[in-house]
Each structure stands twice: as structure tokens, then as C-alpha cells.
């Protein structure tokens, strides 16, 4: 069960947390949401912002609890990169990985 909101792969691998769903259609308080290829009905009673087809939502036990703005995803990744950038310059392993990231041109 996803009481706290996590993955229970054995039962419902596609409903796991951290895999937000993409809204396919909205009918009143009910949305059809695509989770990596599986469409599930998700209630919109308590979501924090109006959602429309194409939006991503965080699901918990069949209820959308957050509309995830695309810019926030970028902000999170930027936060991680900031942590990486702050790594001690004499940390050879971190430096190695930073170089690899740069070389691979990863965003």
C-alpha cells in the first residue's frame, strides 16, 4: 500500500511514487491519467491547482495531490547540480564524475 507514498513494485509497479502521471482527460473531479503506458482513473478532489490534459500530477492512493509544474523539475535538477558543484575540489571521485558529466554533455 502506498500509505506514505511509495513504490510497492510487487503489486502495482506503475503507480509508484516518483513516477508522476500525465493527465489524458478530465471529467469533473475525475481524470484519466497515464502512468508510463497504463491509464488509471485518478480523483481530483484535493489537487492543489486546476489540471488539464498534458499536465503531470503526483498520485497517492488514487488521488492527485500535486500538479507538478515543469519548471520545478528543472529547479530540482539544478539544486542537485549545485550540490555537486560545491563538492570539495580535491575530491577526486566527485571531480571525475563532474568531468564525465561535462564530457557527456548531460544537462
Partner 1 sequence: MSELAQLRFRDPARAQSLTATLADRARALGRAEPVSVMHVCGSHEQAIAKFGLRAGFPPELDVIMGPGCPVCVTDVPEVDEAVALAKQGVRVATYGDMLRVPGTSLSLADAHGAGARVEVVYGVAQAVELARTTTDEIVFFASGFETTAVATAAVLLAKPPPNFSILSAHKYIPPVMEIVAEMPGTKIEGFLAAGHAATITGWGVFERFVERHRIPVVVAGFEPLDILAGLVRLVELIGEDTPRVENAFPRCVSREGNLEAQAVLWRVFEPQGGRWRGIAHVPNGNLRLRDEFAQWDARRRFDIDLAPLWDHAPAALVAQCQCGDIMAGIASPHDCGLFGRECTPDNPVGACMVSAEGTCKIWHQYGGHPDLRQIRRRA
Q: How many CA atoms lie within 13 A of 22 on its CB side?
A: 7
Q: Which of 9, 13, 38, 53 binds partner 1 (CB under 8 A)?
A: 9
| Residue 91 within binding range of partner 1, rule CB under 8 A | yes
Q: Strands of 1-107 (E only): list them.
A: 21-27, 30-35, 38-43, 56-60, 63-67
Of 25 and 99, nearer to partner 1 (C-beta) is 99
How many residues line the site for partner 1 (CB under 8 A)? 57
Burial status of residue 104 (CB atoms within 10 A of its CB: 0-12, 13-18, 19 or more): exposed
Q: Which residues bind partner 1 (CB under 8 A)?
A: 1-12, 17-20, 22, 36, 43, 45-48, 56, 58, 60-63, 65-66, 68-70, 72-73, 75-77, 79-81, 83-84, 86-88, 91, 93-94, 97-98, 100-101, 104, 106-107
Amino acid at each position: 500500500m502506498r500509505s506514505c507514498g511509495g513504490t510497492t513494485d510487487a503489486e502495482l509497479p506503475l503507480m509508484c511514487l516518483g513516477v508522476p502521471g500525465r493527465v489524458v482527460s478530465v471529467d469533473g473531479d475525475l481524470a484519466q491519467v497515464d502512468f508510463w503506458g497504463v491509464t488509471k482513473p485518478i480523483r481530483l478532489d484535493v489537487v492543489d491547482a486546476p489540471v488539464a490534459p498534458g499536465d503531470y500530477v503526483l498520485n497517492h492512493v488514487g488521488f492527485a495531490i500535486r500538479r507538478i509544474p515543469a519548471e520545478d523539475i528543472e529547479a530540482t535538477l539544478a539544486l542537485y547540480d549545485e550540490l555537486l558543484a560545491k563538492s570539495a575540489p580535491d575530491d577526486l571521485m566527485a571531480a571525475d564524475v563532474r568531468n564525465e558529466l561535462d564530457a557527456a554533455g548531460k544537462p
